[in-house]
Amino acid sequence: MTKTSLRLTRISGAGPSGLVAAKTLLHDVAPATFKVTIYDAQPRIGGLWPLTKNDTARQVHPLMVANQSKHTVQFSDLAWDDNVPQMPKAWQVGQYLQRYSEKYGGADVKLGHKVVRTELQHDGAWKVETESEEGPQTHLFDHLLVTTGFFGKPIWPDYVPKEAEIPIVHSSKYRDLQGLLAGGNRKGHKILVVGGQMSGIEIAGTIATHLSSAVHSPGEKSIENPEKYSIQHISQRPCWVFPLFTSAQPAAAAPPFLPCDLPSYNLANRPQPLMNSSGHISVDSARTFNSIFQSVLGTDQGEFSPDVKIGDDLIEQQPFLAMSSHYTDFVRSGMISVSQGKVSSLAGNTVVLSSMNEKIEGIAAVVLATGFDPCPSLDFLPSDVLETISYAPSHPSLPAALAFHGTCHPSLATLGFVGFYRSPYWGVMEMQARLIARLWTVEQPSRALKESLDSDSSIQNVLDLRSDPRLSQFPMGDYAFLMQEFAKALEMNISAPRETPTLANGKSMDILTPARYVSEAVTQSQLSEAEKNLASTHETAVGGLTKAKFVAQAVFRSLLGEWKLERDLVSKLPSHPSGRFVGTAKFLLRQGTADGRKVPDEDDLGMEYLYIEDGDFTASNGLKFRATRRYVWRYDEARDVLSVWFAKTDDNMRADYLFHDIEFIVPDSEDEVAQTKGWQAKASHLCIEDLYNVKYEFKFQAVNLKEWRIGYSVNGPKKDYTISGVYRR
């Protein structure tokens, strides 16, 4: 074993953290300062993130939609392709990482090499032992950088048997209903989801979406008798459930919509300098956060079910947050039933909850949304090093006490960490890598860096928080505060915000993104990539605030479920009597179908609704009869267009041809009456000789539709009538 004068750095993990760390050491410091080797046990880069639509071996489903937009899931110096949606799918994130690795190469990437043991030498060097198909190897490095991430292995609770009569999988292994329900005794039809925080909400909503699609899609069913199945979600307490698009002005009559992280990371809404809002959550802070979340959603969630309501007993408790487009509406529809409690035992197809010994029987399969144990991500470190960093497997949310927000330890100058905490926002990973590079390349830190390190209390904070009963959901999750603190230590200035239209509070948005922090040594190419990122974020914000962008998506999401429908028909021709319809309208979610549209087979068709209305029509002449009709509603994400399609008469589960696209109308800012109305929209359709002119009004309460109206005027040689209908929950 030999060690050269060049600084050899070993990085453990080729996910986002490892790739940004390697890029920073190789491209953002003086050339040839470091030689970097990356070891990863997987055969491909990307960490959790799959590289293709069919890459199902990762811990993330390739078709899972990211719960942060590409304006947050980015590094400062690589822009996303324009054709990637605002909320990328997991495989698209993997593709981004692939491009990043190719653009900023230079590291010696050893895939299929698992680090099994490390040893700290007396001079600070690291002996690293790996295992691979090539056999065991040992190398010596000047530095060791841990970038293994926080998702070491799925947690399998003690009460869950390793072998059972029914299928049991961790949420990270769920892919589809067919795979979940393969095998088992089929004595029950309840799919049990255990775990009430982020992953529990997400996977319950995903399974409900798959189940709804299995029930309501045309053609052969993906599983036998899908209509018999339901989802039973076990949660210890309710979470606030945010959709992927929210509003920067939720109180507006026609609220504008943006990807959820843009309003969340609007620095204009926070007093400066930023104070840490994570970690310990006081009663006053809990009241404030819960109030903010309720205003963003426009509800305490009681309208969906008492079991998901954030009531008075929880207002003073630290809030828990989850992301899902359809979870709460599936709860309202009854496809998801929620039981509050904790599982005490699971035997056969019956589970027992610790609260009042409630039993849930008839279980067909179990999905464990019980999180991940980060400790295996550190198991290659020697025991004395683990002791130094106060390693505590019994505290999975805070397993290591590290300095400067999880980046280093003052007693271990040649050991660094990037991305080792929950919610490792990409901007923070990049900042951590920059800090490590600074610490490993300067003999004397600058005054700003020294003051930041000297005043840092991160280690003690972690130790105190381990026993804190008011610990926040994400102890290190205050993204904006962390970015501020790293920037201060590194003497980096955030770029000036790009002006957006003024909001109701009189301020323009000041949206935090990684691209607003570029290093001094930035090349023209890197600066160009940052500029593309900034321009994309600004275009998105302006589009949402001034051009009705994403309103179609918000309407589509909120239609799910059953509505009360009342419709009046007024005819001017005696051959077509007037009358009134009273009944229900159901929007039944399913995977998009190709019927009626010309698209390549491999295109992602998104989601759509089968619309079914049913009720009684009472004519003005006293005649009363049952009436029903069907449509297919579709949302085209690439075009940001909501459309309505006729259903086939010979197969009413299928779309036939386009009825109309819905065009949303931006409210006139100078029209006071227009400012009091909901979102207005229009459409038209010529059916042979009959012209249908359509007007819509969608009334939101923050992110949720509360009521909407549709009016038709139909004119032709033999038709002259108007229809006005109102839909209410």
Q: In this predicted model, what pLDDT tens digit does every residue of 209-229 receive, in sequence order?
A: 999 999 999 999 989 999 999
Q: In this predicted model, what pLDDT tens digit does every residue of 303-312 receive, in sequence order?
A: 999 999 999 9
The residue assigned the tokens 């249908």 is 692
Average pLDDT in the 604-616 region?
95
Q: In this predicted model, what pLDDT tens digit does every residue of 418-455 receive, in sequence order?
A: 999 887 689 999 999 999 999 999 989 999 999 999 99
C-beta atoms surrounding 585 within 10 Å: 20
Read off the pLDDT band of 646 (50, 70, 90): very high
In this structure, is the dihedral angle defined by the CA atoms of residues 667, 673, 679 and 684, taken in order, positive or negative? negative
Alpha-carbon separation of residue 667 from 122, 255, 258, 699, 726 (angstroms): 70, 10, 17, 13, 21
The answer on pLDDT for 3 being more than 50 is no
Q: Is the pTM of this model over 0.85?
A: yes
For residue 11, the model assigns a pLDDT of 80
State the helix-helix crossing angle for 16-27 and 90-103, rounded to 10 degrees. Answer: 20
- In one-letter notation, the amino acid at residue 150 is F
The answer on pLDDT for 116 being more than 70 is yes
Q: Phi and psi dihedrals of 464, rounded to 5?
A: -70, -40
Cα 631 from Cα 563, distance rounded (Å): 15
Average pLDDT score, the chain: 93
DSSP string, 441-494: H-SS--HHHHHHHHH--HHHHHHHHTT-TTB-SSTT--HHHHHHHHHHHHT-PP
Token pair in block for residue 234: 């076990």
The answer on pLDDT for 91 being more than 70 is yes
For residue 357, the model assigns a pLDDT of 75
Query: How much of the chain exceeds pLDDT 90, in percent?
Result: 84
Cα 33 from Cα 10, distance rounded (Å): 14
More reliable by pLDDT, 285 or 32: 285
**Angle subtended at Cα 494 by Cα 490 and Cα 499, rounded to the nearest 5 degrees:** 180
Q: Which of 74, 693, 84, 82 is nearest to 429 (CA)?
A: 74
Token pair in block for residue 699: 């009334």
Query: How much of the chain exceeds pLDDT 70, in percent?
Result: 98
Q: In this predicted model, what pLDDT tens digit does every residue of 371-410 receive, in sequence order?
A: 999 999 999 999 999 999 999 999 999 999 999 999 999 9
Token pair in block for residue 642: 């909501």
For residue 5, the model assigns a pLDDT of 40
Read off the pLDDT band of 600 (50, 70, 90): low
For residue 4, the model assigns a pLDDT of 36
Q: In this predicted model, what pLDDT tens digit does every residue of 331-375 receive, in sequence order?
A: 999 999 999 999 999 988 999 998 777 899 999 999 999 999 999
For residue 6, the model assigns a pLDDT of 62
Q: In this predicted model, what pLDDT tens digit does every residue of 556-569 receive, in sequence order?
A: 999 999 999 999 99
The answer on pLDDT for 473 being more than 60 is yes
Cα 251 from Cα 243, distance rounded (Å): 16
For residue 2, the model assigns a pLDDT of 32
Token pair in block for residue 616: 């009684």
DSSP 530: H
Cα 260 from Cα 279, distance rounded (Å): 22
Cα 126 from Cα 384, distance rounded (Å): 13
